[in-house]
């Protein structure tokens, strides 16, 4: 029989409902009987003791809120009776030890990747087109239309066929997807557009330059075609300096074009198409070869989280992260607003005090900017999060941080900085799913693991994004976007360690090109840079 309640940490004074509970129901839990005061939906939290107004509430072993009114034992926690509260952190207070998981069976495993001259290994081989400024977005879109029609021939898709039949007034007799034919087998061609590069503060253009340079540096990219207008804030030399800073010995081809120096649009596009085609044809000669798992750099993301995310999907990613780190690989934890309340643990996991201080400084500066804008980290949980049991930012954060497992923090990076150290890295990004994923890929992630409890379609143009559901209902309902279901953890049919092995196996297959992630199949090529300043 499935358990009805679970307490995540022995020191917690709340439990999570694993199933819907009815008012008046009596549950035997941890040698005591708990009478349910009112109906409780699965994923929501129930009081294991009576809370007076102002009582502290602990979950995942950390402070996640305080009662704003009396909550009887057996009562449900809501936004009406609980307010956000988190512990204050000022410095590193100790060092947390780490016992690495046994990864003997994985030590000799490899994935089939694209080896780059700088020693990195890609899980994909992409030729990337992007603009330095939004003024060139239209030209990027024209190039996308030309290259996709000629290099990736698709007769029509089911939705086109459906609309065609409606327009003609005919019965839809064949709405199946038509076969895709690729001209080149070893190279994909992707296109990025964005709203930046001019019109804002200079720091935003410099940040965008570092991000785009990181995309060129990313091991999944074989080369790039870059479009500039000419008069914008993000000048070509600023981009080149950013690329030189992270890749001083860059060997990848980067083709650059400035419209104001080239005459008509037709003349520029003609030159771009001719030169880029030759470069793409050359990049197609690169083939997959075996690489150790230590060459994997995995971004850890969550979005559309629910009350089960911190119990099933995120801890499963955490164990996977620990396995990867034990194998010499890299894991990246981002979304700083969703680390509010767990700073002390992360600070104490930093191997260097300098990194601990950098983390605290970045967190404090980020939070100050949010407060100055008239908001706060406590506003992070979305209506969907709250509806499914994540009622305070600290509660959401404590579950989100489980994605990073328990390994030491080897480095702390600001947005746009590139990963240089294997192990667990903290990267400053917003909680926004696409902005965060965009940032991790710009810092070198060649795979992204993305947990969700409610469902979200986020992907990335150059890096495979693997979606992991926290519950089986979601995996069944939105099967077109979910790659891995961790619902068996909730049902008690699999342990976290067993689920992590399933995830790592899947990562290897995606990294080797044996499996295309659902986000890849749906062409969810999302790219949103983090704009930290104001428009001018």
State the CATH number of the domain containing residue 193: 3.40.50
- Tell me the mean pLDDT in the region 306-314: 93
Contact status, residue 430 vs residue 337, Cβ threshold 8 Å: yes
Model pLDDT for residues 125-178, shown as the tens digit of each residue:
999 999 999 999 999 999 999 998 888 755 556 777 776 777 777 765 555 555
Give the span between the Cα atoms of 188 and 127, in whole angstroms: 6
Mean pLDDT of 502-511: 98
Query: How far apart, in whole angstroms, are the C-alpha atoms of residue 214 and residue 193?
Result: 16
Bridge-based pairing state of the strands 45-47 and 14-17: antiparallel
Residue 516 lies in a domain: no
Q: What are the φ and ψ backbone dihedral angles of 250, each rounded to 5 degrees?
A: -60, 130
| Residue 135 to residue 137: CA distance in whole angstroms | 6
246 and 376 both lie in a single domain: no
Q: Measured in whole angstroms, how far is the alpha carbon of residue 443 from the centre of its chain?
A: 12
For residue 299, tell me if it sits in a domain: no
Region 353-369: mean pLDDT is 93
Using an 8 Å Cβ cutoff, are 47 and 77 in contact?
yes
% residues pLDDT > 70 (the chain)? 96
Is the residue at 96 inside a domain?
Answer: no
* Mean pLDDT computed over every residue of the chain: 92
- Taking the alpha carbons at both ends of the chain, their separation in whole angstroms is 61
Supply the pLDDT for residue 480: 96
Q: What is the mean pLDDT of residues 379-399?
A: 83
Asked if residue 100 belongs to a domain, the reply is no
Indicate if 353 and 408 belong to the same structural domain: yes
Residue 239 has pLDDT above 70, yes or no: yes
Question: d(Cα 398, Cα 388) in Å, to the nearest integer?
Answer: 16
Residue 196 has pLDDT above 70, yes or no: yes
Strand partners, 330: 297, 423
Per-residue pLDDT tens for 285-306? 999 999 999 999 999 999 999 9
Residues 323 and 467 in one domain: yes
Q: Is 181 helix (H, G, I), strand (E, B) or coil?
A: strand
Rounded CA separation 114/360 (Å)? 37
Domain boundary residue among 288, 323, 353?
A: 288
Q: Are 395 and 490 in the same domain?
A: yes
- 50 and 123 fall within a common domain: no
d(CA 156, CA 160): 6
> What mean pLDDT comes out for the span 356-381?
87
449: nearest Cα among 312, 336, 294, 301: 301
Please report whether residue 92 resides in a domain.
Answer: no
Distance, in Å, from the CA atom of 491 to the CA atom of 218, rounded to the nearest integer, reads 38
Give the chain's domain count: 3
Q: Is 488 exposed, middle or buried (0-12, 13-18, 19+ CB in 10 A)?
A: middle
Among the three residues 262, 288, 314, which one is the final residue of a domain in this structure? 288
Residue 133 dihedral angles phi and psi, to the nearest 5°: -150, 150
The fraction of the chain above a pLDDT of 90, given in percent, is 80
Condensed to tens digits (0 to 9), the pLDDT of residues 98-127 reads 999 999 999 999 999 999 999 999 999 999
DSSP state of 404: G
CA geometry: angle at 529 spanning 528 and 533, to 5°? 130
Could you tell me which of 300, 385, 394, 376 has the C-alpha nearest to residue 62?
394
Q: Which residue has the tokens 């986000």?
A: 519
Among 171-180, 248-257, 331-340, 515-524, the minimum mean pLDDT is found in 171-180
> pTM, whole model, 2 decimals?
0.92
Is the pLDDT at 469 greater than 80, yes or no? yes
Q: Pseudo-torsion of CA 105, 106, 107, 110, nearest 10°?
A: 140
Whether residue 418 is found in the same domain as residue 451: yes
Domain that holds residue 264: 113-288
pLDDT, residue 167, reads 77
- Same domain as 78, residue 127: no
Question: Using 50, 70 and 90 to split pLDDT, how confident is the model at 394?
Answer: confident
Count helices and strands in the chain by DSSP H and E runs: 15, 24
pLDDT digits (tens, 9 = 90+) for 65-92: 999 999 999 999 999 999 998 888 888 8
DSSP of 430-491, one letter per residue?
-S-HHHHHHHHHHTT-SEEEEEESS------SSS-EEEEESSHHHHHHTTTT-SEE-HHHHT
Residue 376 pLDDT more than 80? no
Per-residue pLDDT, 151: 86
Q: What is the pLDDT of residue 418?
A: 98
Give me the pLDDT at residue 176, please: 54
Among 217-221, 334-338, 376-380, the least confident range: 376-380
Per DSSP, what are the bridge partners of residue 29?
32
Are 282 and 309 in a shared domain?
A: no
Residues 191 and 269 in one domain: yes
Spatial contact of 103 and 194, defined as CB atoms under 8 Å apart: no
H or E segment to which residue 411 belongs:
strand 409-413
Residue with tokens 């030759």: 278
Both 177 and 223 in one domain: the answer is yes
482 is a domain residue: yes
In this predicted structure, what is the pLDDT of residue 381? 80
pLDDT for position 203: 93
Q: How far is CA 375 from the centre of its chain?
A: 24
331 and 451, same domain (yes or no): yes
Predicted local confidence at residue 173, as pLDDT: 53
CATH, residue 36: 2.30.130.110
List the one residue out of 419, 441, 423 whose CA is nearest residue 322: 423
């Amino acid at each position: 029989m499935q358990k009805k309640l679970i307490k995540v940490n022995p020191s917690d004074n709340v439990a999570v409902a694993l199933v819907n509970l009815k008012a008046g129901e009596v549950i035997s839990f941890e040698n005591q009987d708990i009478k349910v005061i009112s109906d409780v939906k699965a994923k929501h939290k129930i009081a294991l003791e009576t809370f007076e107004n102002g009582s502290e509430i602990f979950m995942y072993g950390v402070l996640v809120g305080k009662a704003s009114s009396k909550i009887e034992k057996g009562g449900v926690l809501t936004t009406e009776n609980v307010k956000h509260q988190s512990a204050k952190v000022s410095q590193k207070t100790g060092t947390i030890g780490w016992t690495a998981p046994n990864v003997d069976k994985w030590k000799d495993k490899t994935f089939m990747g694209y080896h780059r001259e700088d020693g990195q290994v890609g899980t994909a081989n992409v030729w990337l087109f992007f603009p330095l400024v939004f003024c060139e977005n239209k030209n990027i879109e024209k190039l996308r239309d030309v290259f996709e029609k000629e290099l990736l021939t698709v007769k029509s898709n089911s939705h086109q066929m459906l609309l065609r039949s409606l327009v003609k007034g005919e019965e839809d007799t064949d709405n199946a997807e038509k076969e895709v034919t690729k001209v080149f087998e070893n190279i994909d061609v992707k296109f990025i557009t964005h709203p930046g590069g001019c019109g804002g503060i200079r720091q935003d253009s410099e940040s965008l330059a570092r991000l785009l340079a990181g995309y060129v540096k990313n091991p999944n990219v074989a080369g790039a075609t870059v479009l500039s207008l000419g008069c914008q804030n993000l000048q070509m030399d600023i981009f080149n300096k950013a690329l030189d800073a992270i890749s001083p010995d860059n060997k990848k081809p980067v083709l650059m074009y400035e419209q104001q120096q080239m005459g008509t649009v037709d003349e520029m596009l003609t030159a771009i198409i001719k030169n880029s085609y030759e470069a793409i044809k050359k990049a197609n000669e690169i083939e997959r070869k075996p690489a150790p798992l230590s060459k994997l750099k995995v971004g850890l993301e969550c979005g559309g989280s629910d009350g089960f995310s911190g119990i099933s999907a995120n801890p499963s990613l955490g164990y996977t992260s620990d396995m990867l780190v034990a194998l010499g690989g890299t894991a990246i934890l981002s979304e700083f607003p969703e680390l509010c309340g767990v700073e002390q643990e992360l600070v104490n996991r930093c191997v260097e005090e300098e990194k601990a201080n950098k983390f605290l400084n970045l967190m404090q500066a980020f939070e100050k900017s949010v407060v100055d804008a008239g908001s706060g980290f406590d506003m992070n949980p979305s209506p969907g999060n709250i509806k499914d049991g994540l009622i305070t930012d600290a509660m959401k954060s404590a579950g989100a941080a489980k994605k990073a497992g328990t390994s030491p923090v080897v480095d702390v990076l600001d947005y746009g900085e590139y990963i240089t150290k294997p192990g667990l890295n903290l990267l400053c990004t917003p909680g926004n799913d696409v902005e965060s994923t965009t940032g991790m890929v710009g810092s070198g992630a060649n795979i992204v693991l993305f947990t969700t409890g409610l469902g979200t379609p986020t992907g990335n143009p150059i890096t495979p994004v693997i979606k992991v559901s926290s519950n089986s209902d979601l995996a069944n309902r939105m099967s077109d976007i979910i790659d891995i279901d961790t619902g068996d953890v909730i049902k008690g049919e699999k342990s976290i360690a067993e689920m992590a092995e399933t995830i790592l196996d899947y990562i290897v297959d995606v990294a080797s090109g044996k499996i295309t992630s659902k986000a890849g199949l749906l062409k969810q090529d999302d790219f949103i840079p983090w704009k930290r300043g104001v428009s001018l």
